């Protein structure tokens, strides 16, 4: 786990340099064109900033929340949307780390090792905002396996560019489960409450 003050200081200096030299110079153009900066995602990935939360054996540094927050703040100072991109991705990584089973973690972590894949959280609904207890999206178990989710999500950060999605849905009257899927293939629930 990343806890060395010298390492953290050095890492923040690298992030400041990346932000100053590569991210900030693109901010005006990104704002003007309103196009997602895939090239900056590659910069974040190549420098390990999208995989910081992963365990070391999967190419991360298992960054603590304090370091992750400082890195996101610095990246955001160059272009706010890149900080939001990091936050969304790391939130999903952390949720999988806390709630996924070993097989789910293994598969997910291995798929993230390229460092360029983004993650999105699908929680907010038109009538409920982010109040998870007020969700109306429902998940129904299919007879042949898997689930079908029925509902509407809004304000999904990175919805158009994410590779992985963590969606929340009711699986019973007072039960909420998180479902993990990729663009290519729906998956089993990550966890059920």
pLDDT interval class at 88 (50, 70, 90)? very high
Query: Are residue 163 and residue 96 in the same domain, yes or no?
Result: no
Residues with Cβ < 8 Å from 98, sequence gap 6 or more?
none
Say yes or no to pLDDT of 188 above 50: no
Q: Residue 191 pLDDT > 60, yes or no?
A: no
Same domain, 42 and 103: yes
Interval 17-62: pLDDT, tens: 999 999 999 999 999 999 999 999 999 999 999 999 999 888 899 9
Check residue 2 and give its pLDDT: 53
Per-residue pLDDT, 67: 95
Range of the domain at 156: 119-192
Place 146 in a pLDDT band, splitting at 50, 70 and 90: confident
pLDDT-derived band of residue 66, with 50, 70 and 90 as boundaries?
very high
Which pLDDT value is given to residue 81? 95
Indicate the DSSP class of residue 143: T
Q: Is 25 in the same domain as 79?
A: yes
Over range 89-108, report the average pLDDT.
91
33 and 81 belong to one structural domain: yes
CATH number at residue 26: 1.10.540.10
**Structural domain tally of the chain?**
2
Same domain, 9 and 100: yes
Q: What is the mean pLDDT of the chain?
A: 88
My answer on whether 133 and 108 are in the same domain is no
Answer yes or no: do 104 and 126 share one domain. no
**Which of 66, 82, 112 is the C-terminal boundary of a domain?**
112
- Domain match, 87 and 132 both: no
Domain check: are 78 and 131 in the same one? Answer: no
pLDDT of residue 3: 55
| CATH code for the domain of 139 | 2.40.110.10
Instruction: Clarify whether residues 95 and 157 are in a common domain.
Output: no
Position 192 pLDDT exceeds 80: no
Domain-ending residue, one of 75, 94, 112? 112
Long-range contacts of range 62-65, CB-CB < 8 Å, 24 or more positions apart?
Answer: 62/1, 62/2, 63/2, 64/1, 64/2, 64/3
Out of 66, 95, 112, a domain closes at: 112
């Amino acid at each position: 786990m990343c806890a060395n003050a010298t390492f953290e200081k050095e890492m923040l200096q690298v992030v400041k340099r990346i932000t100053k030299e590569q991210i900030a110079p693109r901010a005006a153009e990104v704002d003007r064109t309103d196009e997602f900066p895939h090239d900056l995602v590659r910069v974040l990935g190549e420098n390990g900033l999208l995989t910081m939360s992963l365990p070391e054996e999967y190419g991360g540094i298992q960054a603590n929340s304090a370091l992750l927050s400082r890195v996101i703040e610095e990246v955001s100072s160059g272009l706010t949307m890149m900080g939001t991109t990091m936050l969304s991705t790391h939130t999903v990584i952390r949720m999988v780390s806390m709630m996924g089973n070993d097989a789910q973690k293994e598969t997910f972590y291995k798929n993230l090792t390229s460092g360029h894949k983004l993650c999105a959280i699908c929680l907010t609904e038109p009538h409920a905002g982010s109040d998870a207890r007020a969700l109306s999206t429902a998940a129904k178990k299919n007879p042949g396996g898997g689930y079908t989710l029925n509902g509407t999500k809004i304000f999904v950060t990175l919805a158009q560019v994410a590779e992985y999605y963590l969606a929340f849905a009711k699986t019973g009257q007072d039960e909420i489960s998180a479902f993990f899927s990729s663009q290519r293939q729906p998956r089993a629930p990550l966890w059920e409450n």
